[in-house]
């Protein structure tokens, strides 16, 4: 495997400031010799990135975490996306035995009961499948944007994910939501119909609601919890904080 150096991560991050999203993705693909995975949840940001990767023919694998509790509209846009771009998005689902054990322990909707129960659900349905989705990858592309939340403003274009040992790229980190909307409209990219109904950030159906005018974009995710704790863990480091720009040990 290629040894990722701190200089390489720093250079990619520095160059990204003056690059387009396409150029950022191309730069990562050039720098990383091994597999690169783009994890999509079929939200508007991810749909924009899918268009960029697919139309440019960049060799990056598409993956999604099918938690088993997604909205029907999410499956609809998934099918539309594969048909339009001629791609296959590999699905990673939770282990059946783990879901059965989780349900036995906390009930079918036990995640409403406490933060610990909710995190246990995210661990089973999202985090463990994510580890399989990224297994063997040296690069990871995501749709994170700085203006999605105060916490995400602390991230960067490129960082080193120490826990997973790979380079992580947020190619539209500096886009606004309006940028993503304009891009998908201009390029006729299919988007989740729930966006038009006020669902700005879409996850599992039981844990997502529409947001009211003026509410933060991610206010509809795990709305019964404190605003300061609204991360499922996909982008958290081993210390429980959001993964930030870093260098390999």
Helices of type H across the chain: 6-16, 21-31, 44-56, 72-85, 96-106, 115-122, 128-133, 177-186
Residue of 122, 204, 207, 232 marked catalytic: 232
**Could you report how far apart the first and last alpha carbons of the chain are, in Å?**
16
Told to judge if 232 belongs to the known catalytic residues of this protein, a careful annotator would answer yes
Q: How far is residue 97's CA from residue 99's CA, in Å, rounded to a whole number?
A: 6
Is residue 6 within 8 A of residue 247, CB to CB? The reply is: yes
* DSSP 8-state class, residue 225: S
Q: How far is residue 81's CA from residue 191's CA, in Å, rounded to a whole number?
A: 9
Q: How far is residue 103's CA from residue 113's CA, in Å, rounded to a whole number?
A: 13
Cα 57 to its chain centre, rounded Å, is 21
Is residue 17 within 8 A of residue 47, CB to CB? The reply is: no
Is residue 94 within 8 A of residue 124, CB to CB? The reply is: yes
Q: How far is residue 240's CA from residue 245's CA, in Å, rounded to a whole number?
A: 15
Question: Known catalytic residues?
Answer: 232
């Amino acid at each position: 495997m290629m040894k990722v150096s701190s200089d390489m991560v720093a250079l990619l991050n520095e160059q990204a400031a003056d690059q387009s999203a396409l150029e950022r993705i191309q730069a990562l693909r050039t720098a990383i010799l091994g597999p690169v995975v783009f994890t999509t949840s079929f939200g508007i940001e991810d749909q924009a990135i899918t268009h960029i990767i697919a139309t440019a023919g960049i060799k990056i694998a598409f993956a999604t975490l099918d938690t088993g509790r997604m909205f029907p509209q999410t499956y609809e846009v998934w099918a539309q996306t594969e048909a339009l771009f001629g791609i296959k998005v590999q699905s990673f689902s939770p282990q059946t035995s783990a879901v059965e054990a989780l349900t036995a322990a906390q009930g079918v909707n036990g995640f409403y009961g406490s933060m610990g129960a909710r995190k246990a659900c995210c661990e089973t349905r999202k985090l463990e499948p994510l580890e399989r989705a990224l297994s063997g990858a040296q690069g990871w592309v995501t749709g994170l944007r700085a203006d999605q939340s105060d916490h995400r403003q602390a991230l960067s274009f490129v960082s080193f994910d120490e826990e997973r040992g790979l380079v992580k790229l947020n190619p539209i980190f500096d886009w606004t939501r309006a940028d993503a909307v304009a891009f998908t409209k201009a390029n006729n990219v299919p988007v989740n119909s729930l966006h038009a109904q006020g669902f700005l950030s879409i996850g599992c159906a039981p844990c997502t609601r529409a947001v009211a005018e003026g509410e933060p974009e991610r206010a509809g995710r795990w709305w019964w919890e404190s605003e300061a704790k609204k991360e499922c863990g996909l982008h958290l480091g081993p210390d429980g904080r959001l993964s930030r720009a870093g260098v390999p040990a």
